[in-house]
Amino acid sequence: MENEMGYAMSRLEIDSEHCDGCKTINAIDNGQKSNTSFNILDHEISLETNLKSRPHQRLDEMMPGKRKLPVSTVKMLAGREGNYSGRGRFSAADRCHMLGRYLPVNGPWLIDQMTSRAYVSQFSADGSLFVAGFQGSHIRIYNVEKGWKVQKNILAKSLRWTVTDTSLSPDQHHLVYTSMSPIVHIVDVRSTATESLANITEIHDGLDFSAEDYGGYSFGIFSVKFSTDGRELVAGSSDDSIYVYDLEANKLSLRILAHGSDVNTVCFADESGHLIYSGSDDNLCKVWDRRCFIARGRPAGVLAGHLEGITFLDSRGDGRYLISNGKDQTIKLWDIRKMTSNYTCSAGLRNYEWDYRWMDYPPQAKDLKHPGDQSVATYRGHSVLRTLIRCYFSPTYSTGQKYIYTGSHDSCIYIYDLVSGEQVAVLKHHKSPVRDCSWHPDYPMLVSSSWDGDVVKWEFPGSGEAPIPAAKKTIRRRQFY
């Protein structure tokens, strides 16, 4: 549940060296804790990830010198110029092999400072825009290609507690935002006005997600996502339900009483829009197939393994794999082919009282194992406390999705190697929890936002424009309310 309170801070040191001195994470694989380090991922996704980020075999064989990975950038460029691959250009795997080693760890450089907590921050699909949402009613859209100029400054309508989520339409024409209300507001991003004050300078249309028989403003929405074709919205709510809204018909098309507690996170599994993933405070991930949704409320399958509630899900985009962040202080990797159809929640796993909103994670809980863990792998090191911390796969284009990354309560951003489980970078700047962060789809650039109000970017090696580092730059925090 997203109801943050005061928090105690802890700090970790930066370990931003990608190749040298990396820490490894003790992990659980199928419910068993490793005694040494993360077990190398022995799974189909490991093979797929390596294939997406290895150089062309012919280049590897024909280049002089000892064969080893990674192949140096100089050798890669020489191989391309010599046309060793026979293609005259880099393949997608060649590109990922080069770009994937250059992690966005330099900086950070300050983009903006606000007086309220940042809850949401995401690049658009093409990386040209960046959206940040704040507890103090403001949502800002930055034009990345024009020096991070504020293209749209939106003052949210009927805000309850905070902006819980935003989603930009695939064509980048509209932005939706949610709060602790069943009304989702939609804004036309294309309008020329920079200041978008709800129903004063612009209309923020309200999409009512409450069913006709549900009694109005009795729940809030934690998560909202556009479908790939931009025709639908899927949302997860505090009334344990998933909602699908048909934008063309302008009406609610589906409500599923999906879980036994708050649905903190939902997303479409792939471009088809047929599969929906959901995660809840009942500790379960569920998979919903709308093509065979016959019995109302019955999922296609259930994925169990978290010991506490799930704060966020991210799909790999292939309709098969996803990751989840959990209040048990772990990220888990899932293969939906391992899901079960009839899992019932085990209520007896916890023998302690704990609330993540204001308590530290109990030491005795760290060694607990889920007896029926269906996950493929588990990643540890970050902390998931006080707020619904988000995690993601790294981009396909530049990294081949070989990393996963997450914000953390301890004010840092963590990057893990998907296959080895290595903690390849820990980025430290913020002074409060980092709820959200986003990796540019094409370049080694990552932007993080925090409850301290800072929005900063991390790059490798930097933009070349020698911006002033965030630690040395002071901006008067904007007062809006």
The answer to whether residues 366 and 33 touch, using CB atoms and an 8 Å cutoff, is: no
Confidence band of 345 (pLDDT split at 50, 70, 90): low
Give the pLDDT confidence score for residue 296 in this predicted structure.
59
User: What percent of the chain shows pLDDT beyond 90?
Assistant: 62
Whole-number pLDDT of residue 34: 37
Estimate the crossing angle of helix 73-81 against helix 92-99, to 10 degrees.
Answer: 150
CA distance 368 to 265: 24
Residue, of 296 and 16, whose pLDDT is higher = 296
Q: Provide the token pair at 79.
A: 């191989």
Each residue's pLDDT tens digit, 160-207: 889 999 999 999 999 999 999 999 999 999 887 788 876 566 778 899
Selection from 260, 267, 300 nearest residue 284 by Cα: 260
Q: Is the pLDDT of residue 295 over 80?
A: no
Percent of the chain with pLDDT over 70: 77
- Window from 6-10, 184-188, 261-265, 293-297 with minimum mean pLDDT: 6-10
The pLDDT score that the predictor gives to residue 30 is 34
Task: Please report the pLDDT score of residue 445 as a whole number.
Answer: 97
Q: What is the pLDDT of residues 11-45, one digit of tens each?
A: 222 233 333 333 333 333 333 333 334 556 778 99
Here the tokens at position 44 are: 């189909």
Entry pTM: 0.85
What average pLDDT does the structure give for the chain?
83
Maximum separation of any 2 CA atoms in the chain, in Å: 72
Q: Is 217 helix (H, G, I), strand (E, B) or coil?
A: coil
Q: What angle do CA 312, 286, 179 make, to 5 degrees?
A: 45
Distances from the Cα of 477 to the Cα of 152, 453, 474, angstroms: 18, 9, 9
Q: Is residue 69 over pLDDT 50?
A: yes
| Number of other CB atoms surrounding residue 186 within 10 Å | 18
Q: Which residues contact 271 (CB under 8 A, 6 or more apart)?
A: 228, 229, 317
